[in-house]
Structure 1
């Protein structure tokens, strides 16, 4: 089932008298339970497309349809609520809060998403997610004691703790070695299937494409 549709999306930036078109009418549909990978050279527009789809910056033209709703017609607060409740994010670096334990990181995300769970329900949900990412034994740990791979696993747990419909992953393995990269991508794929998430992945690492269901190549602001 198609969950997310990008229709004729364009993005231009103006610097003084110079206008540069970064995206030139991109069309793309994302399906439930699939990992779709965006690949292309630096400057091809893949990260710009991801951030626009995720509501982190506006498109200059075109439409973003999520579950039949046009995000481009929403105001900033409405888009923020969709991001908090329906989207999950994983980036190159984990960006964990240094003074919070793993459990507290996930509890904070549940609060931000407005899940309105009781503390006992939150703890149960956290235990289940940590089990899924094989990090139950690190629940009370602080980020400073985690390895790079462990930090990314916690970042993934944080991204899915509120049961998002869409997971946006922008170069999630770029800071990891080959083995940890494969472990993280295998985990993202497994969770996409297990939780029936729609995942949009940006990567420059061709080895990671083995974990994608669909590969979309971008060149010069367009789908190649």
Structure 2
């Protein structure tokens, strides 16, 4: 089942009188339970493609369809609601709130996504997700006391706690050593399958490609 479809998507930036075409006629379809990696040299357009797919930038031409809904043409408030309820984000750095515990980070995400769960159900779901990422024993820990790998595990749990349709991951292992990078990629892959999420990831690390289902190579704004 296709969760995200991009149809003839293009993106042009204007700098004074100069127009630069960053994306050119992109066609891409992502399936449920699939991990797709975007690879390519710096400036190839992969990060622009990720942010456009996530509704963080507008397209210049083309259509983006998420779970049967056309993102293109929606107003900013409509897109914000879709991002909050249907998207999860993991970046190179965890960006955890420093004064919140691991448990509180996830509870905040449920609040932001306007979860319909009761308070008790939210607590149960937070415990389940922290167990899945191997952080249940650190539920009351603050970011300052966590290792880089632990922070990233909490960030992944936070990104998935509200059961998004799509996880967008931008260089999720770039700040970690080789062992922790592999652990994090194994975790992303396992959760993509078990939670029936679609994952789109940008990476420069070829070692991480063994954990993905599909590799999409970009060059000069095309696939």
Q: Which aligned pairs between 1:184-199 and structure 2 lie closer than 5 A?
A: 184-199=184-199
Aligned residue for 1:109?
A: 109
Q: Tell me, what secondary structure is at the counterpart of 1:72? A: coil
Runs (4+) off by over 3 Å: none
Deviation at 1:116, TM superposition (A): 3.0
Listed one character per residue, the Cα deviations across residues 28-50 of structure 1 (whole Å, up to 9, x for unaligned) are 00000000110000000001000
SS of the residue aligned with 1:62? strand
Matches within 5 A, 1:97-136: 97-136=97-136
SS of the residue 2:28 aligns to: strand
After the TM superposition, which residues 61-210 of structure 1 pair with which residues of structure 2 at under 5 Å, given as runs?
61-210=61-210
TM (normalized to structure 2)? 0.99
- Aligned residue for 1:99, secondary structure, equals coil
The one-character-per-residue Cα deviations of 1:45-72 (angstroms, maximum 9, x if unpaired) are 0010000000011111110011221101
What is the SS of the residue equivalent to 2:218? strand
Aligned length: 223
CA RMSD of aligned residues (A): 0.6
Report the secondary structure of 2:38's partner residue.
strand
TM-score with structure 1 setting the length:
0.98
Q: Classify the secondary structure of the residue corresponding to 2:23.
A: strand
Q: How far does the alpha carbon of each residue in 1:109-138 deviate from its partner, in whole angstroms, 9 at most, with x for none?
A: 000000032221111110000010010000
Cα displacement string for residues 128-157 of structure 1 (whole angstroms, at most 9, x for unaligned residues): 000100100000000000000000000000
Counterpart of 1:26 in structure 2 is 26
